[in-house]
Amino acid sequence: MNLFPRCDRSPAWAALQDHFRLEGRQFDLREAFAREPRRFEDWSLQAPEVLADLSKNRISTATLQLLLQLARDCGLEAQREAMFQGEAINHTEGRAVLHTALRAPQGQAPHGDEVQASLQRMLAFAESVRADDRGFSDVVHIGIGGSDLGPAMVVQALQSCVKPGLRLHFVSNVDGHDLAGVLRDLKPASTLFIVASKTFTTQETLANARAAKAWFLQQGGSDIARHFAATTSNAQAAAEFGITTTFGFWDWVGGRYSLWSVIGLPIAIAIGAAGFRELLAGAHAMDGHFRGAPLARNLPVLLGLLDLWYRNFHGFGSRSIAPYHQGLRRLPAYLQQLEMESNGKRVDREGQVLPYATSPVVWGEAGTNGQHAYFQMLHQGTDVIPVEFIAVRQPDFGAHVQGALRECLQDQHTKLLANCLAQSQALMQGKTEAEALGETAPTASRTLATQALARHRSFPGNRPSTTLLLERLSPRSLGALVALYEHRVFVSGALWGINSFDQWGVELGKALCNRLLPRFASGDGGGLDGSTAGLLAHLRGPGPEVSA
């Protein structure tokens, strides 16, 4: 029996529907700023390591009060506490959800002793790999999904913290071009491979691991035990592969929440034990904020409520992530899995089909690249797409950047920040046809053609955005930012009444793939649908003739 009501079964849901019809649908951000001189101060919030400006969102005090009541009606606080206490909230798999325990100091979360013992062992190994006498210049991490996206994103974001002379590579795609491109310039004697698979059965990961092993032996490598390690709970399978150094973890560590565990080994190798502990500390600080701050001043809660308001009342089907920092260019891909795998569900916890939408499509690109790609649609397209801008106040170009180069890059950083602020301003303010017409032609020379041109140059505005500001991109601030997104996803999932911690939707395709693989050898198309059988036959055929 579900102890927590779904959002649509709360009295606040009906009140929100009336409120949206009477006020929310017509809400205009420009008018809101005109009548609320302190709107920025009232709608900005300092959380650990993150300043959030929510003022450019289509939300009023009345809207917020109704959303907060909805959260209370759905037992959000009790659901939150159940997660922190280690209750089996992933009910379809009978598991607790305790990624927060991975970053908690000893004694402040369940499983503290075993978590700390695992962490210390992993960090000790990471430091040994970093030691100059080991001779490792390259680390190749082989995983997929949560075993890849989190570590790859963090290492890329914290490049300024990576030990000089140490190169980290990430291979995930079963497409052999991924691994081949990485191996091209490597030497076996100075390369360490890390195979990340909880069960040591993941098809894509094991295919790449076997290929890496074949390359290693072909190139003259001989000591598999020294050059291969694994983050897995299946030590026996790893040993059969030839790996003796393994790091296990628990079933309450979900894949997309696992970078804080031994899956974070490549992060620890890249930034060192002290840096990894800072990453954990930043996340733990955000955990404390989420668990302890009042709902009305709780940033993950406010963002989750906004997500529900936009998805279920405004009908906005996607959200764009625009990080204005090159180091965060893989953050949108990481967030795609975090949110869409967590909340891309069509039934509630009791298995009933939902009458409302859940996860939006999450997508994006680093600024300013995105401005020259898809921002045209954000500003003038037919769909309203909320945008999340992420900016970093102080750059860190590295100690090697000095003198005139530093001045040039500092100037570029100022331009980057100006672009970030300008885009959110433009989305909100827009430009009327009258303003565009005034720019196009003097009053005396206005024609139907110039009026049409002005329409092309006008912007509707009133397009919402959130801006998240970090002081600098450091292990601590990145840890807080990622934890913020984790908890925000929890909030919206809890209100929608879904299980955010299973992912059965990825299983069917995997099962069908395993059944199709033997058919590539046999050519047997029996029992397949016409499309799949036809494509299989074409892929097995000789291919088109190539003319001389």
Q: Which residues belong to the active site? A: 341, 372, 510
- 134 and 50 within one domain: no
Q: Does residue 220 lie in a domain region?
A: yes
- 219 and 159 within one domain: yes
pTM of the model: 0.96
Q: Specify the pLDDT at position 440.
A: 66
- Cα distance between residue 172 and residue 208, in whole Å: 8
Q: Which residues, in sequence order, are bridge partners of residue 246?
A: 230
In percent, the amount of the chain with pLDDT more than 70 equals 97
Q: Tens digit of pLDDT for each residue in 423-432?
A: 999 999 999 9
Find the domain containing 439 and state its range: 431-459
- 328 and 235 within one domain: no
- 476 and 425 within one domain: yes
- 262 and 147 within one domain: yes
Q: Is the pLDDT of residue 168 over 50?
A: yes
Q: Specify the pLDDT at position 542.
A: 82
Q: Is the pLDDT of residue 230 over 50?
A: yes
Q: Tens digit of pLDDT for each residue in 477-492?
A: 999 999 999 999 999 9
- 478 and 449 within one domain: no
Q: Specify the pLDDT at position 437.
A: 82
Q: Specify the pLDDT at position 1.
A: 41
Torsions phi, psi of 219, nearest 5? -85, 5
In the sheet that 245-247 helps form, which strands lie side by side, from edge to edge?
167-171, 138-142, 191-196, 228-231, 245-247
- 478 and 329 within one domain: yes
Is the previous residue joined to 100 through a cis bond, with omega within 30 degrees of 0?
A: no
Q: Tens digit of pLDDT for each residue in 12-58?
A: 999 999 999 999 999 999 999 999 999 999 999 999 999 999 999 99
Q: Specify the pLDDT at position 3.
A: 79
- 296 and 188 within one domain: no
Mean pLDDT of the chain: 95
Taking residues 407-427, report their average pLDDT: 98
Q: Tens digit of pLDDT for each residue in 48-99?
A: 999 999 999 999 999 999 999 999 999 999 999 999 999 999 999 999 999 9
Q: State the sign of the Cα–Cα–Cα–Cα dihedral 510, 515, 519, 524.
A: negative
Taking residues 107-133, report their average pLDDT: 96
Q: Does residue 523 lie in a domain region?
A: no
- 217 and 292 within one domain: no
Q: Tens digit of pLDDT for each residue in 268-308?
A: 999 999 999 999 999 999 999 999 999 999 999 999 999 99
Residue 443: pLDDT band with limits 50, 70, 90: low
Count of alpha carbons within 13 angstroms of residue 104, beta-carbon side: 19
Which domain-ending residue is among 274, 302, 336?
A: 274
Measured CA distances, 409 to 156, 184, 224, 399, 505 (Å): 19, 32, 43, 13, 45
